[in-house]
């Protein structure tokens, strides 16, 4: 299609070359990792958008905190990554590293290069010149927010996130209160037209029935009311509402540059207040999806509003 397909123009009564170009590649985190041929979410350099170095947790899994845990030497240099000045990948990085790997003689040398860069080979569709490997794969809203971050937040609030517990904080919602939230969730949509949302189940007892659409409506429109006064401390409610407000802005049909810059700074602030507590035992809280929030604004800058790149129409 990039070279052109002979097509007949009925209005002009003549042939012309019809061209089409791939400018985006959409998908969840795993799909994009496979497309870009990168080592991915458990690598030392796991991020497709930047060169942040991961920190190994208590087991064999790597995580991506902006600042390493206190009292450890797991990643002493740098001691802190600046969220508004991350070492971003470039399109040419993917090409140069893949070329090095393909010219390396031994398997050991190939693996060493891949380990030190996070890149394993040339990306798929390498002959498609319209794609920028560093910019054409934005962090997709549907999978990032609705299928990862929001369910994980609920796991935190209900004490089910990887058995981490609250640590030195106090953000868990008591089981009997969460049961009330579940009942109120199921009752809340009885008088809402189906064009807005389908039936929502009890989030406490039937959470497995929640789809991405369910999570979106519940978190953006119901949670701010249902969870008001339900957290032990108000700061956790405010932290949740901050993410809700940012999500609403990203859902707008169009955004100004000023709004986009605000989204970027607010997401940075939200990530920095996340439930990590700079403790090595809580490194599992610093998942790649949380880190991906730092690249959402960058994706909008390069690829346009969220609604142009989400995958609702495919799921």
In the chain, domain spans: 29-117, 141-308
235 half-sphere exposure, CB direction, 13 A CA radius:
7
- C-alpha distances (whole Å) from 19 to each of 9, 14, 23 are 14, 16, 13
| Packing angle of the helix pair 107-117, 91-103 (nearest 10 deg) | 160
What confidence tens digit (pLDDT) does each residue in 145-176 have?
Answer: 999 999 999 999 999 988 787 888 889 999 99
* Per-residue b or e along 247-264, where b marks 16 or more CB atoms closer than 10 Å to that residue's CB: beebeeeebeeeebeebb
Model confidence band, residue 219 (pLDDT cutoffs 50, 70, 90) = very high
Q: What is the token pair recorded at 166?
A: 């609250």
Mean pLDDT of the region 70-92: 78
Q: Is the pLDDT of residue 78 over 80?
A: no
pLDDT for 175 equals 95
d(CA 197, CA 214): 7
Quick check: 224 and 246 in contact, CB under 8 A?
Answer: no
Model confidence band, residue 73 (pLDDT cutoffs 50, 70, 90) = low
Mean pLDDT of the region 119-131: 90
Residues facing 119 on adjacent strands: 38
Model confidence band, residue 250 (pLDDT cutoffs 50, 70, 90) = very high
Mean pLDDT of the region 193-203: 87
d(CA 75, CA 93): 23
Mean pLDDT of the region 7-29: 91
pLDDT for 231 equals 94
Q: Is the pLDDT of residue 84 over 70?
A: yes
pLDDT for 275 equals 78
Q: Is the pLDDT of residue 74 over 60?
A: no
3-state secondary structure of 62: strand
């Amino acid at each position: 299609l990039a070279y052109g397909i002979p097509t007949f123009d009925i209005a002009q009564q003549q042939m012309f070359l019809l061209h089409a170009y791939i400018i985006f590649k959409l998908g969840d985190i795993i799909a994009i990792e496979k497309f870009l041929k990168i080592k991915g979410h458990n690598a030392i350099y796991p991020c497709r958008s930047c060169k942040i170095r991961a920190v190994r947790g208590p087991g064999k899994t790597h995580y991506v905190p902006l600042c390493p845990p206190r009292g450890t030497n797991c990643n002493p240099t740098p001691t802190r990554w600046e969220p508004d000045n991350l070492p971003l990948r470039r399109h040419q990085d993917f090409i140069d590293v893949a070329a090095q790997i393909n010219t390396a003689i031994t398997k050991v040398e190939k693996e060493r290069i891949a380990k030190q860069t996070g890149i394993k080979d040339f990306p798929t569709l390498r002959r498609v010149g319209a794609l920028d490997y560093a910019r054409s794969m934005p962090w997709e809203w549907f999978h990032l927010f609705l299928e990862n971050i929001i369910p994980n937040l609920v796991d935190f609030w209900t004490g089910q996130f990887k058995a981490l517990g609250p640590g030195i904080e106090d953000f868990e919602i008591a089981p009997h209160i969460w049961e009330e939230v579940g009942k109120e969730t199921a009752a809340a949509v009885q008088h809402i037209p189906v064009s807005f949302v389908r039936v929502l189940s009890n989030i406490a007892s039937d959470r497995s029935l929640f789809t991405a659409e369910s999570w979106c409506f519940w978190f953006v429109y119901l949670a701010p009311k249902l969870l008001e006064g339900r957290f032990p401390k108000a700061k956790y409610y405010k932290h949740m509402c901050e993410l809700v407000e940012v999500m609403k802005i990203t859902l707008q049909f169009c955004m100004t540059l000023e709004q986009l810059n605000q989204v970027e700074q607010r997401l940075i602030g939200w990530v920095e207040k996340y439930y990590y507590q700079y403790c090595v035992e809580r490194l599992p809280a610093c998942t790649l999806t949380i880190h991906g929030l730092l690249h959402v604004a960058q994706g909008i800058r390069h690829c346009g509003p969220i609604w142009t790149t989400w995958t609702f129409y495919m799921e």
